[in-house]
Protein backbone atom coordinates (compact mmCIF):
# COMPACT_ATOMS: atom_id res chain seq x y z
CA UNK A 1 0.00 0.00 0.00
CA UNK A 2 1.43 3.40 -0.95
CA UNK A 3 2.09 6.19 1.51
CA UNK A 4 -0.57 8.76 2.25
CA UNK A 5 0.10 12.34 1.21
CA UNK A 6 -1.99 14.98 2.94
CA UNK A 7 -1.53 17.28 -0.02
CA UNK A 8 -3.43 14.82 -2.24
CA UNK A 9 -6.49 14.66 0.00
CA UNK A 10 -9.55 16.55 -1.26
CA UNK A 11 -10.31 19.72 0.64
CA UNK A 12 -13.82 21.11 0.30
CA UNK A 13 -13.64 23.58 3.17
CA UNK A 14 -11.87 24.27 6.43
CA UNK A 15 -14.49 22.40 8.45
CA UNK A 16 -14.12 19.21 6.43
CA UNK A 17 -10.28 19.18 6.38
CA UNK A 18 -8.99 16.25 8.46
CA UNK A 19 -5.35 15.33 7.76
CA UNK A 20 -4.36 11.74 8.44
CA UNK A 21 -0.77 12.70 9.21
CA UNK A 22 -0.61 14.98 12.26
CA UNK A 23 2.98 15.46 13.49
CA UNK A 24 1.66 17.77 16.20
CA UNK A 25 0.24 14.74 18.05
CA UNK A 26 3.72 13.99 19.41
CA UNK A 27 4.22 17.63 20.47
CA UNK A 28 0.91 17.94 22.35
CA UNK A 29 2.16 17.75 25.95
CA UNK A 30 5.47 18.21 27.73
CA UNK A 31 5.43 14.53 28.76
CA UNK A 32 5.09 13.36 25.15
CA UNK A 33 7.74 15.81 23.95
CA UNK A 34 10.17 14.53 26.56
CA UNK A 35 9.45 10.89 25.72
CA UNK A 36 10.24 11.35 22.03
CA UNK A 37 13.16 13.75 22.42
CA UNK A 38 15.99 12.55 20.19
CA UNK A 39 18.96 14.46 21.63
CA UNK A 40 19.80 14.92 25.29
CA UNK A 41 22.54 16.85 27.03
CA UNK A 42 23.90 16.15 30.50
CA UNK A 43 26.66 17.61 32.65
CA UNK A 44 28.75 14.52 31.88
CA UNK A 45 28.84 15.57 28.20
CA UNK A 46 30.63 18.84 29.03
CA UNK A 47 34.27 19.80 29.55
CA UNK A 48 34.94 23.11 31.29
CA UNK A 49 37.84 25.20 29.94
CA UNK A 50 39.66 26.91 32.82
CA UNK A 51 42.42 29.53 32.98
CA UNK A 52 45.09 29.24 35.67
CA UNK A 53 47.36 32.11 36.72
CA UNK A 54 50.34 32.55 39.01
CA UNK A 55 50.01 33.85 42.56
CA UNK A 56 47.39 33.47 45.25
CA UNK A 57 45.21 36.51 44.58
CA UNK A 58 41.49 36.74 43.95
CA UNK A 59 40.01 35.44 40.70
CA UNK A 60 40.71 37.88 37.89
CA UNK A 61 37.72 38.44 35.56
CA UNK A 62 38.26 38.21 31.80
CA UNK A 63 36.67 41.40 30.50
CA UNK A 64 35.30 39.99 27.25
CA UNK A 65 33.96 36.79 28.85
CA UNK A 66 31.37 37.49 31.57
CA UNK A 67 31.58 35.00 34.41
CA UNK A 68 34.99 33.66 33.34
CA UNK A 69 38.05 34.30 35.52
CA UNK A 70 41.74 33.57 35.63
CA UNK A 71 42.23 31.45 38.75
CA UNK A 72 45.14 30.96 41.12
CA UNK A 73 46.04 27.37 42.01
CA UNK A 74 44.00 27.40 45.22
CA UNK A 75 40.98 28.88 43.47
CA UNK A 76 41.39 26.41 40.61
CA UNK A 77 41.24 23.46 43.00
CA UNK A 78 38.14 24.89 44.68
CA UNK A 79 36.48 25.47 41.31
CA UNK A 80 37.18 21.93 40.18
CA UNK A 81 35.68 20.49 43.36
CA UNK A 82 32.51 22.42 42.58
CA UNK A 83 32.48 21.17 38.98
CA UNK A 84 32.83 17.55 40.06
CA UNK A 85 29.98 18.00 42.55
CA UNK A 86 27.82 19.22 39.67
CA UNK A 87 28.56 16.11 37.61
CA UNK A 88 31.19 17.56 35.26
CA UNK A 89 33.93 14.99 34.72
CA UNK A 90 36.56 16.95 32.79
CA UNK A 91 38.35 20.26 32.42
CA UNK A 92 40.58 21.73 29.72
CA UNK A 93 43.41 23.65 31.35
CA UNK A 94 45.05 26.77 29.90
CA UNK A 95 47.90 28.65 31.62
CA UNK A 96 48.33 32.40 31.77
CA UNK A 97 52.10 32.69 31.43
CA UNK A 98 53.69 35.85 32.88
CA UNK A 99 55.13 38.03 30.08
CA UNK A 100 58.62 37.87 31.58
CA UNK A 101 58.68 34.11 30.97
CA UNK A 102 57.79 34.34 27.28
CA UNK A 103 60.31 34.23 24.46
CA UNK A 104 60.37 33.41 20.72
CA UNK A 105 60.79 29.65 21.35
CA UNK A 106 58.27 29.33 24.17
CA UNK A 107 60.93 27.79 26.40
CA UNK A 108 58.74 27.92 29.51
CA UNK A 109 56.61 25.14 27.98
CA UNK A 110 59.48 22.72 28.71
CA UNK A 111 60.04 23.86 32.29
CA UNK A 112 59.11 20.88 34.55
CA UNK A 113 57.92 23.38 37.16
CA UNK A 114 55.87 25.57 34.82
CA UNK A 115 52.44 26.74 35.92
CA UNK A 116 50.30 24.23 34.04
CA UNK A 117 52.29 21.24 35.32
CA UNK A 118 52.04 22.45 38.91
CA UNK A 119 48.31 22.87 38.35
CA UNK A 120 47.92 19.33 37.04
CA UNK A 121 49.79 17.89 40.01
CA UNK A 122 47.71 19.93 42.47
CA UNK A 123 44.45 18.88 40.87
CA UNK A 124 45.37 15.21 40.74
CA UNK A 125 46.21 15.33 44.45
CA UNK A 126 43.02 17.16 45.42
CA UNK A 127 40.44 15.90 42.89
CA UNK A 128 41.83 12.63 41.52
CA UNK A 129 38.61 11.60 39.79
CA UNK A 130 38.66 14.70 37.55
CA UNK A 131 39.76 14.11 33.97
CA UNK A 132 42.32 16.70 32.87
CA UNK A 133 42.91 17.73 29.26
CA UNK A 134 46.00 19.89 28.79
CA UNK A 135 46.73 22.09 25.82
CA UNK A 136 49.77 21.20 23.73
CA UNK A 137 50.76 24.31 21.78
CA UNK A 138 53.24 27.12 22.26
CA UNK A 139 51.01 30.20 21.96
CA UNK A 140 50.70 30.71 25.76
CA UNK A 141 54.50 30.75 25.97
CA UNK A 142 55.75 32.65 22.90
CA UNK A 143 56.20 36.41 22.83
CA UNK A 144 54.83 36.53 19.27
CA UNK A 145 51.62 34.65 20.12
CA UNK A 146 51.94 31.92 17.50
CA UNK A 147 51.44 28.23 18.23
CA UNK A 148 55.02 27.27 17.39
CA UNK A 149 58.52 28.53 16.78
CA UNK A 150 59.04 30.75 13.78
CA UNK A 151 61.19 30.11 10.72
CA UNK A 152 64.48 32.04 10.43
CA UNK A 153 62.74 34.67 8.31
CA UNK A 154 60.04 35.05 10.97
CA UNK A 155 57.19 34.97 8.48
CA UNK A 156 55.84 31.47 9.21
CA UNK A 157 55.78 28.74 11.86
CA UNK A 158 58.44 26.04 11.50
CA UNK A 159 56.36 22.86 11.42
CA UNK A 160 58.95 20.18 12.22
CA UNK A 161 60.87 22.18 14.82
CA UNK A 162 57.58 22.91 16.57
CA UNK A 163 56.49 19.26 16.53
CA UNK A 164 59.74 18.22 18.22
CA UNK A 165 59.06 20.67 21.06
CA UNK A 166 55.43 19.58 21.36
CA UNK A 167 56.48 15.94 21.74
CA UNK A 168 58.73 16.86 24.67
CA UNK A 169 55.94 18.98 26.11
CA UNK A 170 53.46 16.09 25.93
CA UNK A 171 55.77 13.78 27.87
CA UNK A 172 56.13 16.38 30.63
CA UNK A 173 52.34 16.71 30.84
CA UNK A 174 51.95 12.95 31.03
CA UNK A 175 54.50 12.76 33.83
CA UNK A 176 52.56 15.42 35.76
CA UNK A 177 49.41 13.29 35.55
CA UNK A 178 47.30 14.68 32.72
CA UNK A 179 44.75 12.23 31.29
CA UNK A 180 44.69 13.61 27.74
CA UNK A 181 47.13 15.82 25.90
CA UNK A 182 45.32 18.07 23.47
CA UNK A 183 47.46 19.35 20.57
CA UNK A 184 45.80 22.54 19.35
CA UNK A 185 48.65 23.71 17.13
CA UNK A 186 47.56 22.22 13.74
CA UNK A 187 51.11 21.24 12.77
CA UNK A 188 51.45 18.40 10.27
CA UNK A 189 52.38 15.05 11.84
CA UNK A 190 52.07 16.13 15.42
CA UNK A 191 49.64 13.41 16.52
CA UNK A 192 51.94 10.62 15.35
CA UNK A 193 54.92 12.34 17.00
CA UNK A 194 53.07 12.76 20.30
CA UNK A 195 51.88 9.15 20.27
CA UNK A 196 55.38 7.89 19.60
CA UNK A 197 56.87 10.09 22.33
CA UNK A 198 54.25 9.11 24.91
CA UNK A 199 54.57 5.41 24.19
CA UNK A 200 58.34 5.62 24.19
CA UNK A 201 58.31 7.31 27.60
CA UNK A 202 56.03 4.59 29.07
CA UNK A 203 52.81 6.62 28.94
CA UNK A 204 50.70 4.50 26.56
CA UNK A 205 47.64 5.11 28.76
CA UNK A 206 47.66 8.88 28.18
CA UNK A 207 45.16 9.79 25.47
CA UNK A 208 45.30 12.34 22.67
CA UNK A 209 42.43 14.74 22.05
CA UNK A 210 43.39 16.18 18.67
CA UNK A 211 42.21 19.61 17.60
CA UNK A 212 41.67 18.03 14.20
CA UNK A 213 39.49 20.56 12.38
CA UNK A 214 40.60 23.86 13.91
CA UNK A 215 39.75 26.78 11.69
CA UNK A 216 41.48 30.15 11.30
CA UNK A 217 38.50 31.77 12.94
CA UNK A 218 37.64 35.29 14.03
CA UNK A 219 35.92 33.84 17.11
CA UNK A 220 39.09 33.35 19.21
CA UNK A 221 39.66 36.94 20.31
CA UNK A 222 38.41 36.72 23.92
CA UNK A 223 40.46 33.56 24.53
CA UNK A 224 43.60 35.32 23.35
CA UNK A 225 42.85 38.09 25.81
CA UNK A 226 42.39 35.54 28.59
CA UNK A 227 45.76 33.77 28.12
CA UNK A 228 47.67 36.86 27.01
CA UNK A 229 48.71 35.64 23.56
CA UNK A 230 47.01 38.66 22.01
CA UNK A 231 48.94 41.03 24.27
CA UNK A 232 52.16 39.26 23.35
CA UNK A 233 51.56 39.92 19.69
CA UNK A 234 50.07 43.36 20.24
CA UNK A 235 46.78 42.38 18.58
CA UNK A 236 43.91 39.89 18.91
CA UNK A 237 43.96 39.42 15.12
CA UNK A 238 46.90 37.03 14.78
CA UNK A 239 47.19 35.59 11.29
CA UNK A 240 47.41 31.81 11.66
CA UNK A 241 46.20 30.88 8.21
CA UNK A 242 49.34 28.96 7.24
CA UNK A 243 48.49 26.28 9.80
CA UNK A 244 44.83 26.63 10.81
CA UNK A 245 42.09 25.61 8.37
CA UNK A 246 40.48 27.88 5.80
CA UNK A 247 36.86 28.44 6.92
CA UNK A 248 35.78 27.94 3.30
CA UNK A 249 37.13 24.37 3.06
CA UNK A 250 34.96 21.43 4.02
CA UNK A 251 36.79 18.54 2.33
CA UNK A 252 40.15 19.68 3.66
CA UNK A 253 38.79 19.72 7.21
CA UNK A 254 37.54 16.14 7.00
CA UNK A 255 40.81 14.99 5.44
CA UNK A 256 42.83 16.60 8.26
CA UNK A 257 40.66 14.98 10.91
CA UNK A 258 40.90 11.52 9.37
CA UNK A 259 44.67 11.93 9.16
CA UNK A 260 44.73 12.55 12.93
CA UNK A 261 42.69 9.39 13.42
CA UNK A 262 45.16 7.40 11.31
CA UNK A 263 48.07 8.81 13.35
CA UNK A 264 46.62 7.54 16.62
CA UNK A 265 44.31 10.21 18.04
CA UNK A 266 41.79 8.91 20.58
CA UNK A 267 39.34 11.81 20.26
CA UNK A 268 38.83 14.26 17.40
CA UNK A 269 37.70 17.88 17.76
CA UNK A 270 36.01 20.52 15.63
CA UNK A 271 36.72 24.14 16.63
CA UNK A 272 34.78 26.44 16.67
CA UNK A 273 31.58 24.47 17.17
CA UNK A 274 28.54 26.60 16.32
CA UNK A 275 29.66 28.04 12.96
CA UNK A 276 30.92 24.61 11.83
CA UNK A 277 28.06 22.24 12.63
CA UNK A 278 28.17 20.97 9.04
CA UNK A 279 31.79 19.88 9.54
CA UNK A 280 30.89 18.21 12.82
CA UNK A 281 28.02 16.32 11.20
CA UNK A 282 30.13 15.15 8.28
CA UNK A 283 32.97 14.06 10.54
CA UNK A 284 30.49 12.15 12.69
CA UNK A 285 29.51 10.19 9.57
CA UNK A 286 33.14 9.65 8.53
CA UNK A 287 34.68 8.51 11.83
CA UNK A 288 33.70 6.15 14.61
CA UNK A 289 35.96 7.87 17.16
CA UNK A 290 34.38 9.98 19.90
CA UNK A 291 34.03 13.58 18.75
CA UNK A 292 34.49 16.77 20.72
CA UNK A 293 33.46 20.26 19.71
CA UNK A 294 34.72 23.50 21.25
CA UNK A 295 32.15 26.25 21.75
CA UNK A 296 34.81 28.94 21.72
CA UNK A 297 35.19 32.22 23.54
CA UNK A 298 33.67 34.32 20.77
CA UNK A 299 30.54 32.17 20.67
CA UNK A 300 30.20 32.49 24.44
CA UNK A 301 30.84 36.25 24.38
CA UNK A 302 28.33 37.01 21.65
CA UNK A 303 25.53 35.15 23.45
CA UNK A 304 26.28 37.08 26.64
CA UNK A 305 26.51 40.40 24.80
CA UNK A 306 23.12 39.94 23.14
CA UNK A 307 21.55 38.84 26.42
CA UNK A 308 22.96 41.86 28.24
CA UNK A 309 21.19 44.07 25.69
CA UNK A 310 17.94 42.22 26.22
CA UNK A 311 17.93 40.88 22.67
CA UNK A 312 17.64 37.24 23.68
CA UNK A 313 17.16 34.99 26.69
CA UNK A 314 20.57 33.90 28.03
CA UNK A 315 19.60 30.52 29.45
CA UNK A 316 17.39 29.47 26.54
CA UNK A 317 19.96 30.54 23.95
CA UNK A 318 22.77 28.85 25.87
CA UNK A 319 20.84 25.59 26.05
CA UNK A 320 19.77 25.71 22.40
CA UNK A 321 23.32 26.39 21.22
CA UNK A 322 24.68 23.44 23.22
CA UNK A 323 21.89 21.12 22.13
CA UNK A 324 22.57 21.98 18.48
CA UNK A 325 26.23 21.01 18.89
CA UNK A 326 25.25 17.74 20.53
CA UNK A 327 22.62 17.03 17.85
CA UNK A 328 25.17 17.60 15.09
CA UNK A 329 27.27 14.74 16.44
CA UNK A 330 29.44 15.88 19.36
CA UNK A 331 29.97 13.37 22.15
CA UNK A 332 31.76 15.99 24.25
CA UNK A 333 31.45 19.77 24.27
CA UNK A 334 34.09 22.14 25.59
CA UNK A 335 32.14 25.18 26.72
CA UNK A 336 32.48 28.10 29.13
CA UNK A 337 28.80 27.52 29.92
CA UNK A 338 29.60 24.14 31.50
CA UNK A 339 29.21 25.18 35.13
CA UNK A 340 26.10 27.32 34.68
CA UNK A 341 24.41 24.65 32.54
CA UNK A 342 25.19 21.91 35.07
CA UNK A 343 24.00 24.07 37.99
CA UNK A 344 20.73 24.91 36.26
CA UNK A 345 20.25 21.25 35.33
CA UNK A 346 20.73 20.29 38.96
CA UNK A 347 18.16 22.89 40.08
CA UNK A 348 15.70 21.70 37.44
In the 8-state DSSP scheme, what is residue 103?
A: B
Q: Which of 53, 102, 214, 339 is catalytic?
A: 214
Query: Which residues 6+ apart lie within 8 Å of 214 measured at CB?
Result: 184, 186, 244, 245, 269, 271
Reply yes or no on whether 271 is catalytic: yes
Q: Which of 53, 102, 240, 271 is catalytic?
A: 271
Nearest to 166 by CA among 145, 150, 141, 190: 190
**Helices and strands in the chain, H and E counts:** 12, 10
Do 108 and 95 touch, CB atoms closer than 8 A? no
Half-sphere exposure of 48 (CA within 13 A, CB side): 29
Reply yes or no on whether 53 is catalytic: no
Cα→Cα distances 42→45, 160, 333, 348, Å: 5, 40, 10, 12
Do 333 and 292 touch, CB atoms closer than 8 A? yes
Q: Which residues are catalytic?
A: 214, 271
Amino acid sequence: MGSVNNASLPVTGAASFSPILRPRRIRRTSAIREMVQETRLTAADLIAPLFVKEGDGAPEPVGSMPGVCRLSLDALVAECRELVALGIHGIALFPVTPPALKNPRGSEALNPECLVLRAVRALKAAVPQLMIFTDIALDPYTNHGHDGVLTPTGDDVDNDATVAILAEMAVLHAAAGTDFVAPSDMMDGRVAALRSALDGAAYPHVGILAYSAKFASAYYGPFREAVGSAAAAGTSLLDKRTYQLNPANRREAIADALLDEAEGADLLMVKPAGPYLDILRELRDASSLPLAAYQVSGEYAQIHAAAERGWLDLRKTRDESLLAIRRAGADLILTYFAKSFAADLRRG
